[in-house]
Structure 1
Amino acid sequence: MTHGFVRVAAAVPRLKVADCAYNTKNLIKLIHEAESMKAQFVVFPELSITAYTCGDLFHQEAILVESEKQLANILENTRDTGIVALIGMPVRADNQLFNCGVAVQGGKILGVVPKIYIPGYSEFYEERWFAPGTNNLSDNVVLCGQTVPFGTDILFEAHDDYRVCFGMEICEDLWVPVPPSSFQALAGANLIFNLSASNEVIGKYEYRKNLVKQQSGRCIAGYVFASSGIDESTTDVVFGGHAIIAENGGLLAESQRFSQDEQLICSEIDIQRLGNDRRRNTSFMEMLPQKKYRKIPFELPKMEFGKLYRQFERHPFVPSDVGVRDERCREIFSIQTCGLGKRMRHTGAKHAVIAISGGLDSTLALLVTVRTFDMLGLPRENIRAITMPGFGTTSTTYNNAMQFMKSMGVHISEIDIRPACLQHFKDIGHDVNDFDITYENVQARERFQILFDIANKIGGLVIGTGDLSELALGWCTYNGDHMSNYSVNCSIPKTLVKFLVKWVADNMVDEASRKVLYSILDTPISPELLPPDAKGEIQQKTEDIIGPYELHDFFLYHMIRYGASPSKILFLAEQAFDGSYSRETIKGWLKVFYRRFFSQQFKRSCLPDGPKVGTISLSPRGDWRMPSDAQASLWLEELENIRN
């Protein structure tokens, strides 16, 4: 597999009802087309050789004989292919007729799986023709001269890569309270293929799509669904040709319904990611499989992918859909305020102390604090907002900080830390012109000494402002800005902080506050611990030193959320940032990420409390427990062995 991916396809062919030869010709064409797209699997709709809507023609010997003849035709004309095709057809066995999915590869039948749940309500009359799959008596069936596995207890496992295992279910099987795919997943299937004939009525489209997505999520699996198209009989119902590819609750690809043309959609399922999620979710196997399965071996086609069909968000913490993003921002802001509100009530504190630099993080933290005080009915004047100019403070950030605090109606204090820092340099014998790490950290610790002392004096809580990205990279001063009484931004990455501030600016403040918030959004990210340049502008730009936050947030997301390897993260980043960063640039910053992530764990091991808002948190009490003295060599060596 290419970095743990398999490529799957779902097809909606043109057909003619009961014209098996015509239908088979189109199936063969689409199998070859799917393989040309480097798909390793392709699934077709239910009863795709005959068409689903044949009615009582299923009792005709001619159509049953012809469907098997055309299956042999498919085998003959795909003998030189490696792709696994899942084809629907009626199969005779044990004095009964079954609605089946047939798995074929390279001219051979891998196995036959009958539909379990046969609908006989409303517009569905399948009970008139087909027996439920659980009625089978035989473990094998003879089809096209081959004796092949037959039954509802069949899974298919790649003999050359045991990580890939697939199961089949057919249409109605998905719509029952506990679908067969649930048991298949517990028995090891991470790919589920559904051959379906789901007609269209008002409201069914969204319900069906959500059903597929939800089942993929419950099973922590890839789910590939193909339903019959517009050429089915329209005597009483209409079929739209709905094909869906989903993975663990997310939609990867979807066909256009009611198309006059055949449909073939393609995407990749991340088998490695699914395996990681299943292992991480220790509840997944709590209900052990209540059914034993035969695992039929097959050969996973060897395909190397360059560009993937599926898309990867550059900013995985930030939804690309504006509506979803707005709702997400509203929810995150509510989680932050409720978390801080609970801590204020528990401690009985009526005051808060917060440092305001004119940067993004402290801006968001103050917005959260103001909203919390409003929610608790506490006066905003009880928020002691302090700006503390240092050696690197510019007029831009200073003015932004002052205007922002005024617009929020909080108690404003200004304390110049330079005299205290100069005295401290003298006390410890540090050259004031030596702009090293000591020069920077003295300022950060001086600021937080002030904050904690004032908090002690007025009985308040120090509100932390640092974000998730800074914690991941250790871009904070130990026992300086690293520390607080409650850290409201601790699980919010830098890329999301920007959107949260913008969302508040657009939705929750007056025009004067909105104007200053937009000015803050336009200011380069900087700790402002080194003197400005000759023009008085910010010289110490964080992203010039440690790399673009959008890259580091991407690395962090895929490493922590999915346990992705360095080579895979590099591969995904190339896909997501194609045209923006070269492979060499991404690789270089990825090395920086790993070095800093491992070396800075000691700071994360003693984080103050703060609310988890998303799937990733680095709190040592919650999502991330890592020894501070772990070595990064394994990850760095893998990167070194990758050629540019």
Structure 2
Amino acid sequence: MKDGYIRVAAASFDTSIANVKNNGLKICKLINDAYENNAKIIVFPELCLTGYTCEDLFNQDRLLNETKIQLQTIINETDNKDIVAVVGLPYQHLNSLYNVAAVIHKGKLLGLVPKTHIPNYQEFYEARRFESAPKNNTTIIFNGKNIPFGTHYIFASSTNPEFKFGIEICEDLWLPDSPSIKLALNGANLILNPSASNEITTKKDYRRLLINSQSARLVCGYIYSNAGNGESTTDVVFSGHHIISENGTMIKESSGFESEIIYGDLDLKKLSSERRKMTTFKSYYDYENIYFDSTNLDLKTTYYYDPHPFVPSDHTLRAKRCKEVFDIQTHGLMQRLQATGIKKVVIGISGGLDSTLALLVCTMAFKNLGYDNKDIIAITMPCFGTTSRTKNNALGLMNELNVTSYDIDITESVKVQFKDIGQNENVHDVTYENVQARTRTEILMNKANQVGGLVIGTGDLSEVALGWSTYNGDHMSMYAVNVSVPKTLVRYLVDYVASLYHGQKLETILKDVLDTPVSPELLPQQDDKIVQKTEDIVGPYELHDFFLYHMIRFGDEPHKLFRKTQLAFKNKYDKETIKKWLAKFYWRFFTQQFKRSCIPDGPKVGSVSLSPRGDWRMPSDANVKEWITEIEKL
């Protein structure tokens, strides 16, 4: 289970009702198949060893005795196999018959977990034969060995702390007080459910919704194995609808109406990380742990990671996401304007993506508030690296949006600064670049004072993460509308707004902005072409956004993040390229925290934010050595 990855399986087979030996043979074969496919868990349906629909045959000694014999056969079959098999069967304890799940591992019966909620309505009448689980854990004797029996057990790997699971059976899931709630609070990252849920119209949709919702609520992996072929009899039909879900996301689903084994790879470390962050996800300590020894497996996982976690790949969902984000940005700015009573804003426009998006947010906020667009003071400030393309796009935007525009060439002002501090203007170093950025911010701040307005910041989340801004330059503003929007999403937001102006000149300008290389334009242009491309310096933004998302959301160690990135970008970047930019990301992220510690207010739009007042509090002097050392070992 290296890096937290585990492969799990849910299976059904052509059940032969009451032919226990035949069913046992099929179960053994599927266990072997799953083991050969590197699964660590396989879950079978409820009462599958006998068949769920045996009805009053469950009271026949011949059936129950043969069940014990075949259970031992299955246990023997798993000897020396590092796979957990969960098998449903009837079992008598004292005076009562229970519907139980047997937990088997490496030739041992780890425990029997009885069903808690026994349905007795509509087509279900289990209460005619089965008793609800006893309230307290107890012990039974099976073939001369003491075996735990009860529902208050967590099955835990002694070698992998995240590998913990609990069991509930079919109907248990459908109740408001489902056992899985307590199981999760007691540390179970996986919930296993042997089930026999019959098929009627729309039930599959509800079942899918129920399981995905439960896995989301409990921040867990959920493995649901449902009775299928051979169980259909009299008035009921079963389809073998299996589901593997992780934290609300469907990982795998069976096609149904055929015997099938499905596999899914889950990330248990990710689940553990999500719970750790949620201080409201309390820990309970009233269940017993049953430990088993499961060896580490370096799984060649098929786990899917979206290379662009901030941007939905589906066009419809992406449009919906863009509208949500743009609305949040707009209404955040509206609130700031209303709260301060200020009706003017000042914004620097470069002709690039970030400032374009910020200007679009301003114009929408003013429209919603009924303010005059002429009170949006937009200033473009060309200097050494400005090309006619970006300048013309900046002026075109301002003209089409009908804002008050200024074209202030800062070249002479910058040269005065160079003279004052003794900077050689032929030396294109960091001072050469930053004087330009600070001069622009100085103009914006002074203009805001002059007109009684707010300076609107344009920097985005990716730049904040990398510290790709000039301290006391574009790093500062009075309200930063893009501060939690990642670079990979900015492009789609501008494209979304462009679609609102379809057929108009503004759309054409916005499309050209989208096609312009990302650049601060601080180095002298050559032949009116951009020579300074941001991604050549800091690396691809799509990689940095991926690093940022997984580092902040899940607290991944560098080796885990490296592995995730390889899975997500396996057809685009080689290992050395990923390693290079991963090291750059960590170095910049740590060393630039001092800039984040004093960034201005701005609206939080997603689950990842670096605001020092809420989501990310980090000492500015934290040392990055531990992270870089691990990357060097990759």
Q: Assess same fold via TM > 0.5.
A: yes
Shift of 1:510: 5.1
Work out which of the residue numbers 461, 477, 496 in structure 1 matches 2:470: 477
Q: 1:67 corresponds to which residue? A: 67
The equivalent residue for 1:451 is 444
- Aligned counterpart in structure 2 of residue 270 of structure 1, from 267, 270, 285: 267
1:330 match: 323
1:71–1:144 contact (8 Å) kept in structure 2: no
SS at match of 1:537: coil
What does the per-residue CA deviation read over 1:251-284, in whole Å, with 9 as the maximum and x for residues that have no partner?
22222223x3x32222232222222222211111
Q: Does 1:497 find its partner at 2:490? A: yes
Q: List aligned pairs for 1:337-352, cutoff 5 A.
A: 337-352=330-345
> 1:132 maps to what in 2?
132
Query: Take 2:524 and 2:262, find their aligned partners in 1: how far apart are those partners?
Result: 56
Deviation at 1:324, TM superposition (A): 2.1
Corresponding residue number in structure 1 for 2:90: 90
In structure 2, what is the equivalent of residue 254 of structure 1?
Answer: 253
Q: Which amino acid aligns with 1:302?
A: N
Task: Quote the Cα distance in structure 2 between the aligned partners of 1:613 and 1:141.
Answer: 54
CA distance in 2, matches of 1:387, 1:225: 59
Classify 1:112/1:352 alpha carbon distance in 2 versus 1 (closer, same or farther; 3 Å). Answer: same
Kindly indicate whether the alpha-carbon contact (under 8 Å) linking 1:81 and 1:106 is maintained by their aligned counterparts in 2. yes
The answer as to whether partners of 1:466 and 1:482 remain within 8 angstroms in 2 is yes
For 1:41-99, what per-residue CA distance to the aligned partner results, in whole angstroms no more than 9, with x for missing partners?
A: 11111111122222222222222222222222212322231101111111111211111
CA separation of 1:229 and 1:506: change in aligned 2, threshold 3 A: farther
Give the residue type in structure 2 aligned to 1:157. Answer: A
Report the secondary structure of 1:624's partner residue.
Answer: coil
Q: Give the letter for the 1:394 counterpart.
A: T
The match for 2:574 is 582
SS of the counterpart of 1:215? helix
The corresponding residue for 2:212 is 213
> Aligned partners of 1:240 and 1:328: how far apart in 2?
36
Between the aligned partners of 2:12 and 2:97, the Cα distance in structure 1 is: 24
Cα offset, 1:640, TM superposition: 1.2
Q: Which moved more, 1:213-222 or 1:91-100?
A: 213-222
Aligned residues: 634
**2:549 corresponds to which residue?**
557
Give the Cα separation in 2 of the matches to 1:525 and 1:509: 24
Q: Which amino acid in structure 1 is aligned with residue 519 of structure 2?
A: S
Larger mean CA deviation between 147-156 and 60-69 belongs to 60-69
Give the CA deviation at 1:365: 0.8
One-letter amino acid matched to 1:335 = I
**Pairwise mapping of residues 518-533 of structure 1 onto structure 2 (< 5 A)?**
518-533=511-526
Alignment identity in percent? Answer: 51
Aligned 1:418-437 pairs, distance under 5 A? 418-437=411-430
Asked if 2 retains the 8 angstrom alpha-carbon contact of 1:18 and 1:50, the reply is yes
Alpha-carbon displacement from aligned partner over 1:93-125 (angstroms, at most 9, x marks no partner): 121111111110122111000000001112211
Q: Whole-Å Cα distance in 2 between the matches of residues 615 and 122 of structure 1? A: 43
Give the equivalent residue in structure 1 for 2:305: 312
| TM-score computed with the length of structure 1 as normaliser | 0.95
Structure 2 residue aligned with 1:547: 539
Helix, strand or coil for the counterpart of 2:454? strand
Give the whole-Å Cα distance in 1 for the aligned partners of 2:402 and 2:78. Answer: 74
Gaps in structure 2 of 5+ consecutive residues = none
Distance change >3 Å, CA 388–CA 116, structure 1 → 2? same
Q: Is the CA contact 2:159–2:295 (under 8 Å) kept in the aligned structure 1?
A: no
Q: 1:613 deviation in Å?
A: 0.8
Contact 1:109–1:146 (CA<8 Å) still a contact in 2?
A: no
Deviation at residue 509 of structure 1 after TM alignment: 5.5
Residue by residue, what CA displacement relative to the aligned partner does 1:208-256 show, whole Å, maximum 9, x if unpaired?
Answer: 2222122222222221111112432142222222222222222222222
Q: Is the 8 A contact 1:17 1:233 kept in 2?
A: no
The 2-side partners of 1:311 and 1:209 are apart by 20
TM-score normalised per structure 2: 0.97
Map of 1:577-616 to 2, 5 A cutoff?
577-616=569-608
In the aligned structure 2, how far is the partner of 1:380 from the partner of 1:229?
65
Any residues of structure 2 matched to 1:72-221 within 5 Å, and which?
72-134=72-134, 139-221=138-220
Q: How far is the alpha carbon of 1:558 from its aligned partner?
A: 0.9
What is the CA deviation profile of residues 602-627 of structure 1, one whole-angstrom value per residue up to 9, with x for unaligned ones? Answer: 10000100011111111100101111
In structure 2, relative to structure 1, the CA distance for the partners of 1:480 and 1:293 (3 Å cut) is same
Q: How much has 1:295 moved relative to structure 2?
A: 1.1
1:510 and 1:12 map into 2 onto residues whose CA distance is: 56
Give the counterpart letter for 1:178 in structure 2: D
Equivalent position amino acid for 1:299 in 2: D
Report if the CA contact (8 A) 1:84-1:103 is conserved. yes
What residue in structure 2 maps to residue 571 of structure 1? Answer: 563
Which letter does structure 1 place at the counterpart of 2:274?
Answer: D
1:148: Cα distance to partner?
A: 1.1
- Residues 296-334 of structure 1, C-alpha deviation per residue, up to 9 Å, x if partnerless? 11112431112x222001011112222222221111111
> Contact (CA 8 Å) 1:40, 1:301: kept in 2 or not?
no
The match for 1:2 is 2
2:457–2:477 Cα contact (<8 Å) kept: yes
- Offset, 1:557: 0.8
Query: What are the ranges of 5 or more consecutive residues in structure 1 without an aligned counterpart?
Result: none
Q: Is the 8 A contact 1:15 1:232 kept in 2?
A: yes
- What are the Cα deviations for residues 349-383 of structure 1, in whole angstroms up to 9, with x where unaligned? 11111111111111111111111111111122211
Q: Does 1:43 align with 2:36?
A: no
- In the alignment, residue 606 of structure 1 is paired with which amino acid? C
C-alpha displacement at 1:135, in angstroms? 6.3
Do 1:77 and 1:107's aligned partners in 2 also have CA atoms closer than 8 Å? yes
Aligned equivalent of 1:235: 234
Does the aligned pair in 1 maintain the 2:275–2:281 contact within 8 Å? Answer: yes
Q: Is the 8 A contact 1:69 1:144 kept in 2?
A: no
Query: Per-residue deviation at 1:28?
Result: 1.6
Which of 510, 513, 519 is 1:517 aligned to?
Answer: 510
Query: Quick one: distance in 1 between partners of 2:506 and 2:260?
Result: 51
Structure-2 separation of matches of 1:497 and 1:389: 23
In the TM superposition, what is the alpha-carbon distance from 1:181 to its structure 2 partner? 1.1
3-state SS of 1:134 partner:
coil
Q: In structure 1, what is the equivalent of residue 53 of structure 2? A: 53
Q: Which moved more, 1:415-424 or 1:109-118?
A: 415-424
Deviates more, 1:165-174 or 1:202-211: 202-211
Displacement of 1:19 in angstroms is 2.5
Q: Is the contact made by 1:83 and 1:301 (CA closer than 8 Å) also made in structure 2?
A: no
Q: Indicate the larger mover: 355-364 or 20-29.
A: 20-29
Distance 1:220 1:387 in 2: 48
1:489 CA displacement: 0.7
Residues 68 and 322 of structure 1: CA distance in aligned 2, closer, same or farther (over 3 Å): farther
Whether 1:438 aligns to 2:434 is: no
